[in-house]
Amino acid sequence: MNCTLLDVVLFAPFVGFLAILLAPRASAKTAALGISAAIFLLSLGLVSPFFGQGHGGTYFETNIPWIDTPSIRYHIALDGLSLWLVILSTLLTPLCVLISWRYIQNRVKEYYAFLLLLEFGVIGVFVSMDLFLFYVFWEVTLVPMYFLIGIWGHDRRIYATVKFFLYTMAGSVLMLVAIIYLYTKTGTFDYTVIQGLLAQGRVTLSNAEQIPMFLAFFLAFAIKVPLWPLHTWLPDAHVEAPTAGSVMLASVMLKMGTYGIVRFCLTLFGNAAHQCADWIVALAIVGIIVGALVAMVQPNMKKLVAYSSVSHLGFVVLGTFSFTQQGLDGAVYQMLNHGVSTGALFMLVGYLYERSHSLEISSYGGVARVAPWFTTIFMVTTLASIGLPLLNNFVGEFLVLQGAALVSKTWVAFAALGVILSACYMLWMFQRAFLGEASEEVRHHITEINSRELLAIAPLVILMVWMGTLTQTFLPSISAANAHILEQSKAGVEYQVKTTAPELAHAR
Amino acid sequence: MQQLWLIPTFPLLGFLVNGLFGRRLSKSATSLIACGSVILSFLWVLKSLSALMPLEQVHIETCFTWIQSGFVNIPFEFSVDRLTAVMLLVVTGIGSLIHIYATGYMAEEDGYWRFFAYLNLFMFFMLILVLANNFLLLFVGWEGVGLCSYLLIGFYYLKLSATTAGNKAFIVNRIGDFGFSLAMFFIVVQFKTLTFQEVFKQAAALPVEATAGSLTVICLLLLVGAAGKSAQVPLYVWLPDAMEGPTPVSALIHAATMVTAGVYMVTRSFVLFDHAPMARDVVAVVGLITAVVAATIGLTQFDIKKVFAYSTVSQLGYMFMALGSGAYAAGMWHVVTHAFFKALLFLGAGSVIHAMHHEQDMRHMGGLRKHIPITFYTLCAAWIAISGVPFTSGWYSKEAILGAVHHHAPWMYWAGVITAAMTAFYVSRSMFMTFFGEFRGHGEPHESPVSMWAPLAVLAVLSVIGGAAFNIPHFLEPVLGAAEHGGHDMMLEVIGSAAGLLGIALAYVMYVASPGMADSIADSLGGVYRLVYNKYFVDEVYDAMVVSPTIAGSRSLLWRGLDAGFIDGAVNGVGWLARTIGGGLRHLQSGNIRSSAAWVVFGAVLAVLLIGIAGATMTGGMGR
């Protein structure tokens, strides 16, 4: 059997998971760091084929049977859409090990094991080309995150985990229903086969079938994104999660939702996606604005960042459902941007928490006086988050809004309000927490960023600048994959137009 | 190739070195790096321009592809034409002088290196703004200078008023940028590109819009952006507060360069505005209102920097009047002369404040001309220039604007003349209060060091001869075309000049000849005076009508009501229901992976059953 690099990158975290469970407690975190860093370096090898001609295409495909009946295949592959999300996951895992280094003191082995299991799950989600396999990985991610919050979280962790679990379960059960229904229609779980069958018209889905199936998939993903008004699990989960949990949740797990929408909702049910686009865009824009307004009045830093995520991810959904090259490119770019800058924000807030055990903005003030470098890094991250040009978010927001403008000037006029509001909530928080005179409390607790913390955040800061200026490293491969996806989603629309007409005539 | 990219790169390097290692560098090393990088960039500008002269065509240099997605292609591309050349010289020239001045002014301050790092970063972004060959790259500089403005206004970050003013500047500018970014999106929708030459070439081929069309919308949105950056009504409120920053910042960013970016941007897009006369009229009216409103406030302030801040707002309004009248070249001329005399006014004010040990209230000054003569005599140059005394720099550009405005709409001309008189009055007033009469302050005022007065002297010379020496409208003809209206109207110039002299004379009477007259006039005006003195309560109105309702609504309605109350209430209700009905769900929490998997399989079986039922009904439904 030929084994591709992608197989190795996918299963290495699982092997790491087992290894850490078997390793002695004392060496657990060192092992976790070594393994996850090695996986990251390995995963960089995945980039190479995407820098060839045209940047497009699907690589590292493995397609072998897993279970005979029903026919479930181990089918994984990588294209420009999944590539960077996989690398984001492999990058953030070692960083999460680093930021947990001192904070996690009890059940250390299990903690790091779960972190690697989570990495295994999310990579699996991003590379699965078989719907059932996808679903399995989707559920696998739930388990470690459930425990990361439930065991190592803060006071109200049980409430947060149950809420997180219920929300997600509700969505994914519906998705499973739709997956199985697709199976009954096509006789396969293989995404590429199903997509081909639908595109060629060898299997037809009537509108009455397509819309509920689209919605079933979409709901599962929208909860994960989270799309307003399905977002209320997120602030609670973030506030209760340990820092690394928040980082993985925001940076990687939310992207499972947006990834799923782009990968499956658009290509399998292009017609339904187009039909529902107006409603979804409306929710996305409401999310952008309301998320930002609610973030503005949060007294708790983590909640503020969580609500800002609702706002930022509204941009991703908006771009996706503009069905334009620019909008979709911006959406995918924004997924990565959000992973980098919001991940960094959660890290920094976590550093503060480790020092003074408070997430309330009002308990800080004057941090700049005692920890100038820490403040500088926080400032850069803040600026990235509010979309300052030459930093990463600007590129994504520009493309998303440009894509939206090509469809509707009203959409973009409302969505762009989010850019004003993001400056408000971030700068007000920055002022209250970092500027002014330092209180006794702050002087006593807050210390300058240490080298381990710096090592964890530095890659993200570098990426903020890199992704804001040298976008050509990332965008061409993303663009190529998106062009293909748009083609497929359009094929669905045209096909539907062709077939529904005679059907209607027949019905009459 | 002139390696144009080097022009912004020098200050960027200065920023990086001072920003990363400044803490460990000596003050002289920091100054050398900061000033050296800006001077290098000035020299590189001179070298490039002399090689490119006569520069009748635009010269373009592409660095790399910045953003590429579908048909949208945004290169990182610089260009130089005569308009850029003017801005480049002003920015790097005056920038160099102010950097040198700041080494003296900031000598005693903590965070010396931080200050110069920010100042260099500002130069970097300002030069990007000026050199950009497309709207998006211009926007990079645009937002970037806004950031530096924020950082420098809040330089004294221990002071709440300073950090609040910084936030206000950034957020109000963001409102402007909202308009600017929408304009860009619509430009792409219309023209499929953001590169200047291509946009303007296509726009020139379009008919002039008699009614509000897409170009009018684009221009109005650009105006929103320009109003934010250049402090026009109704977005001017951040600029007076920006005086919280150190005085060299007020001179460089909030007088000479950044705030004129809006004028530059509109001038750059003059083809668009010429095709949207309605939008141009709005520009003129906005400029007029700004000029008058700010000038009246300037009449009543006692903080020397506040007076000059409102003066800046008012002068920017003047420039917008010129733009709205189609006299882009006159507007740009005023950008240049204003950069000379207003930078000088602020630096002189800085010298006064320095001499007075951080006293800014003019009521505690007086008689300073004997104590700080160099500052006084250099400031006199700025005084006569801004007052429009004939043949000074300000006179040339002001008369050019007034002439064009008269050509456009005579009633606006008269408002402009009155504003000119008010301008001469308030500047004279501040000069008289500061330098004449008896010394009313404490301590012993001392003259500033040579690093501070040498730049003052250079600017003083420029303020006097800058108009006669640099005929900007003529120089800009290859870019903007020849002025549309005819030669000089002697009568208009006489009236304009007389207005300025009248203002000076009136101030002399009220503050020198018969002191006390000003107070009695203020008393007799009562409520009107208080309204103006309190800046028409605009900040209070904005706060009551926009800021407070937004925050209160977000907190009580959106967060506590909708989010925590309604949505979460529903979710918790469902959760409670689920727990009550299926207590067995608890087993999910066992944490055993195998049992988790079992649940997945169980769920799948259940789902297949459901699907079967659903599918049967659905296909059944279709069959009928």
| CB-facing half-sphere around the CA of A141: CA atoms within 13 A | 28
3-state secondary structure A412-462: HHHHCHHHHHHHHHHHHHHHHHHCCCCCHHHHHHCCCCCHHHHHHHHHHHH
Tokens encoding B410: 């005579």
Provide, as residue numbers in chain A, all residues whose Cβ is less than 8 Å from the Cβ of B185. Answer: 401-402, 405, 409, 412, 416
Q: How far is Cα B295 from Cα B389, in angstroms, rounded to an integer? A: 18
B570 vs A42: which has the higher pLDDT = A42
Residue A497 has pLDDT above 60, yes or no: no
Q: What is the DSSP letter of A61?
A: E
Helix, strand, coil: what percent of chain B each, to 5?
80, 5, 20
**CA of A423: which chain B residue's CA is closest?**
B171
- Per-residue pLDDT band at B619 (split at 50, 70, 90): very low
Per-residue model confidence (pLDDT) at position B589: 54
Distance from A179 to chain B by nearest Cα, in Å?
A: 10
State pLDDT tens for residues A422-445.
Answer: 999 999 999 999 999 888 888 888
State pLDDT tens for residues B414-473.
Answer: 999 999 999 999 999 999 999 988 888 887 888 888 888 899 999 999 999 988 889 888
Work out the mean pLDDT of chain B and round it to a whole number: 88
- Per-residue pLDDT band at A347 (split at 50, 70, 90): very high
Q: What percent of chain B has a predicted confidence (pLDDT) above 70?
A: 92
Residue A176 makes CB contacts below 8 A (sequence gap 6+) with A135, B603, B604, B607
Is residue B107 within 8 A of residue B455, CB to CB? The reply is no
| Residues in A 190-219 with any Cβ partner in B closer than 8 A | 206, 208-209, 212
Would you call A22 an interface residue with chain B, using a CB distance cutoff of 8 Å?
A: no
State pLDDT tens for residues B378-431.
Answer: 999 999 999 999 999 999 999 999 999 998 888 999 999 999 999 999 999 999
Q: How far is Cα B507 from Cα B503, in angstroms, rounded to an integer? A: 6
Is residue B119 within 8 A of residue B252, CB to CB? The reply is yes
Q: What is the mean pLDDT of residues A322-330?
A: 94
| Residues in A 81-110 with any Cβ partner in B closer than 8 A | none
Longest pairwise C-alpha distance within chain A: 80
Nearest to A191 by CA among A182, A200, A181, A203: A182
Burial of B61 (0-12, 13-18, 19+ CB in 10 A): middle
Per-residue model confidence (pLDDT) at position B584: 54
Provide, as residue numbers in chain A, all residues whose Cβ is less than 8 Å from the Cβ of B68. Answer: 471-472, 475-476, 479
Per the CB < 8 Å rule, is A409 touching B175?
no
State pLDDT tens for residues A71-96.
Answer: 888 999 999 999 999 999 999 999 99
Nearest to B593 by CA among A228, A63, A144: A144
DSSP string, B347-401: HHHHHHHHHTTS--BGGG---TTTTSHHHHHHHHHHHHHHHT-TTSHHHHHHHHH
Phi, psi angles (nearest 5°) of residue B326 = 85, 5
Distance from B607 to chain A by nearest Cα, in Å?
A: 5
Residue A163 has pLDDT above 70, yes or no: yes
Q: How many residues does this entry show for chain B?
A: 624
Distance from B171 to chain A by nearest Cα, in Å?
A: 6
Burial of A155 (0-12, 13-18, 19+ CB in 10 A): exposed
Torsion of CA A266, A269, A275, A278, to 10 degrees: -30
Q: What is the DSSP letter of B150?
A: H
- Per-residue pLDDT band at A500 (split at 50, 70, 90): very low
Q: What is the DSSP letter of A189?
A: -
Q: How far is Cα B346 from Cα B366, in angstroms, rounded to an integer? A: 17
Is residue B488 within 8 A of residue B395, CB to CB? The reply is no
State pLDDT tens for residues B255-294.
Answer: 889 999 999 999 999 999 999 999 999 999 999 999 999 9
What CA–CA distances, in Å, run from A190 to A61, A179, A195, A424, B609? 13, 10, 9, 46, 21
3-state secondary structure A115-179: HHHHHHHHHHHHHECEHHHHHHHHHHHHHHHHHHHHHHCCCCHHHHHHHHHHHHHHHHHHHHHHH
Nearest to A481 by CA among A316, A332, A260: A332
**CA of A297: which chain B residue's CA is closest?**
B555
Residue B132 has pLDDT above 60, yes or no: yes
Per-residue model confidence (pLDDT) at position A508: 36
State pLDDT tens for residues A248-271.
Answer: 999 999 999 999 999 999 998 888
Residue B427 makes CB contacts below 8 A (sequence gap 6+) with B307, B311, B345, B383, B386, B387
What is residue A241's three-state secondary structure? coil
Distance from A258 to chain B by nearest Cα, in Å?
A: 20
Would you call B603 an interface residue with chain A, using a CB distance cutoff of 8 Å?
A: yes
Per-residue model confidence (pLDDT) at position B62: 93
Residue A265 makes CB contacts below 8 A (sequence gap 6+) with A214, A217, A218, A221, A273
Question: What's the start-to-end Cα distance of chain A, in Å?
Answer: 55
Per-residue model confidence (pLDDT) at position A415: 94
Residue B246 has pLDDT above 50, yes or no: yes
Closest partner CB to B170 (pick from A181, A290, A423)? A423
Residue A39 has pLDDT above 70, yes or no: yes
Closest partner CB to B603 (pick from A176, A401, A417)? A176
B83 vs B556: which has the higher pLDDT = B83
Is residue B86 within 8 A of residue B108, CB to CB? The reply is no
**CA of A177: which chain B residue's CA is closest?**
B607
| CB-facing half-sphere around the CA of B19: CA atoms within 13 A | 17
Per the CB < 8 Å rule, is B562 touching A293?
no
Sign, Cα dihedral of A263, A267, A268, A274 = positive
Disruptive mutation site among B185, B220, B605 for chain A (greatest number of A CBs within 10 Å): B185
Is residue A236 within 8 A of residue A302, CB to CB? The reply is no
Residue A116 has pLDDT above 50, yes or no: yes
Own/partner long-range contacts of B190-195 (Cβ < 8 Å, ≥24 apart): B190/B214, B190/B215, B190/B218, B192/B71, B193/B73, B193/B134, B194/B74, B194/B134, B194/B135, B194/B136, B195/B75, B195/B77, B195/B133, B195/B134
Residue B177 makes CB contacts below 8 A (sequence gap 6+) with A419, B139, B142, B143, B146, B225, B228
Task: Tell me the residue type at A359.
Answer: L
Distance from A231 to chain B by nearest Cα, in Å?
A: 9
Would you call A229 an interface residue with chain B, using a CB distance cutoff of 8 Å?
A: yes
Per-residue model confidence (pLDDT) at position B2: 81
Provide, as residue numbers in chain A, all residues whose Cβ is less than 8 Å from the Cβ of B172. Answer: none
Per the CB < 8 Å rule, is B611 touching A405?
no
Per-residue model confidence (pLDDT) at position B487: 59
Per-residue model confidence (pLDDT) at position B583: 60
Lowest pLDDT segment from A193-202, A366-375, B134-143: A193-202
User: What is the radius of gyration, based on Cα positions, of chain B?
Assistant: 29
State pLDDT tens for residues B566-606.
Answer: 887 777 777 677 667 666 555 555 555 445 555 555 555 55
Per the CB < 8 Å rule, is B158 touching A162?
no
Per the CB < 8 Å rule, is B157 touching A297?
no
Per the CB < 8 Å rule, is A420 touching B174?
yes
| Residues in A 129-158 with any Cβ partner in B closer than 8 A | 136, 139, 143, 147, 150
- Per-residue pLDDT band at B521 (split at 50, 70, 90): confident
Distance from B27 to chain A by nearest Cα, in Å?
A: 19
What CA–CA distances, in Å, run from B522 to A442, B1, B267, B296, B365? 48, 61, 40, 13, 20
Residue B86 has pLDDT above 90, yes or no: yes
Residue B305 has pLDDT above 80, yes or no: yes
| Residues in A 234-293 with any Cβ partner in B closer than 8 A | 290, 293
Is residue B260 within 8 A of residue B316, CB to CB? The reply is yes
Q: How far is Cα A234 from Cα A246, in angstroms, rounded to an integer? A: 10
Burial of A257 (0-12, 13-18, 19+ CB in 10 A): buried
Provide, as residue numbers in chain B, all residues whose Cβ is less than 8 Å from the Cβ of A233. Answer: 571
Task: Tell me the residue type at A462.
Answer: I
CB pairs under 8 A between A and B: 164
Q: What is the mean pLDDT of residues A410-419?
A: 92
Q: How far is Cα B5 from Cα B195, in angstroms, rounded to an integer? A: 18
Would you call B578 an interface residue with chain A, using a CB distance cutoff of 8 Å?
A: yes
Per the CB < 8 Å rule, is B607 touching A388?
no
Is residue A17 within 8 A of residue A54, CB to CB? The reply is no
Distance from A6 to chain B by nearest Cα, in Å?
A: 25
Per the CB < 8 Å rule, is B67 touching A173?
no
Q: What is the mean pLDDT of residues B31-44?
A: 95
Q: How far is Cα B404 from Cα B181, in angstroms, rounded to an integer? A: 30
Q: How far is Cα A411 from Cα A459, in angstroms, rounded to an integer? A: 35
Phi, psi angles (nearest 5°) of residue B59 = -110, 125
Residue B16 makes CB contacts below 8 A (sequence gap 6+) with none
β-strand pairing of B59-69 with A72-78: unpaired
Per the CB < 8 Å rule, is A423 touching B174?
yes
To 5 degrees, how large is the angle CA B300–CA B302–CA B306? 90
State pLDDT tens for residues B348-357.
Answer: 999 998 888 8
Q: What is the mean pLDDT of residues A340-359?
A: 93
Per-residue model confidence (pLDDT) at position B424: 94
Per-residue b or e along B14-28, where b marks 16 or more CB atoms closer than 10 Å to that residue's CB: bbbbbbeebeebeee
State pLDDT tens for residues B149-190.
Answer: 999 999 999 999 999 999 999 999 999 999 999 999 999 999
Per the CB < 8 Å rule, is A437 touching B158?
yes
Residue B77 has pLDDT above 90, yes or no: yes
